[in-house]
Amino acid sequence: MEVRLENLTKHFGKTAAVENFSAVLDSGELTCLLGPSGCGKSTILNMLSGIIPVTSGKIWFDNRDVTDMEPADRGIGLVFQNYALYPHMSVMENIAFPLEIKNVAKDERKERAHEMAKLVHVDNFLDRKPGQLSGGQQQRVAIARALIKQPQLLLLDEPLSNLDARLRIEMREEIRRIQLETGVTSVFVTHDQEEAMSISDSIILMKLGVLQQEAQPQELYDEPVNEFVADFLGTPPINKVFGHIENGGIRIDSGPLCKLSGLENVKEGHKVHLSIRAESFLVNSSEPVMDARVVRVFVMGKEKLVYLKLGDFEVRAYIDSDTELKAGDRVQLGLRRKGVFVFDAETGERIR
Partner 1 sequence: MKKLKFSAILTYLFLILGAIIMVFPFFWMITGSFKTSQEVSVFPPQWLPKSLYFGNYKFAFETAPFARYFLNSVLVVISSVTVCTFTTILGSFAFSRLRFPGRSVIFGALLAMMMVPFEMLIITNYRTVVQWNIHDTLWALIIPFMSSIFYTYILKNFFDTVPDSLYQAARVDGCSDWKYLWRVMVPIAKPSLVTIILLNAIASWNSFLWPMLATSSATVRTLPFGLYNFVTEGGARNEVMMAAATIVVLPMLILFLFARKYIVNGVARGGLKG
Ligand X SMILES: Nc1ncnc2c1ncn2[C@@H]1O[C@H](COP(=O)(O)OP(=O)(O)OP(=O)(O)O)[C@@H](O)[C@H]1O
| Interacting residue ranges for ligand X, rule: CB under 6 A | 12, 15, 17, 35, 37-43, 191
Task: Report the SS3 class of residue 167.
Answer: helix
Kindly state the helix (H) or strand (E) to which residue 117 belongs, with its residue range.
Answer: helix 106-119
Q: Which of 27, 38, 80, 303 binds partner 1 (CB under 8 A)?
A: 80
For residue 232, the tally of other CB atoms under 10 A from its CB is 22
Give burial (CB, 10 Å; 0-12/13-18/19+) of 117: buried
Partner whose footprint covers residue 335, from ligand X, partner 1, Mg ion, none (CB < 5 to 8 Å by kind): none
- Using the contact rule CB under 8 A, the part of the chain among 27-35, 48-56, 104-112, 178-186 near partner 1 is 48-56
Q: Are 308 and 245 in contact (CB under 8 A)?
A: no
130 binds partner 1, rule: CB under 8 A: no
Give the bridge partners for 340, in sequence order: 276
Number of residues located near partner 1, criterion CB under 8 A: 23
Stretches 20-28, 96-104, 130-138, 207-215: which one binds partner 1 (CB under 8 A)?
A: 96-104
Stretch that binds partner 1, among 2-10, 93-101, 263-271, 329-337 (CB under 8 A): 93-101
- Backbone φ and ψ for 45, nearest 5 degrees, come out as -60, -45
Residue 12, binding choice from ligand X, partner 1, Mg ion, none, Cβ under 5 to 8 Å by partner class: ligand X
Rounded-to-integer distance, Cα 311 and Cα 344, Å: 19
Looking at this protein, which amino acid is placed at residue 166?
Answer: R
Helices 91-101 and 135-147, packing angle to 10 deg: 20
Q: Does 275 engage in binding with Mg ion (CB under 5 A)?
A: no
Which of ligand X, partner 1, Mg ion, none does 84 bind, CB closer than 5 to 8 A by kind?
A: partner 1
In one letter, which amino acid is 295?
V
CB of 49 to partner 1, least distance (A): 6
Residues interacting with partner 1, by CB under 8 A?
49-51, 71-74, 76-78, 80, 82, 84, 86-89, 97-98, 101-102, 145, 149
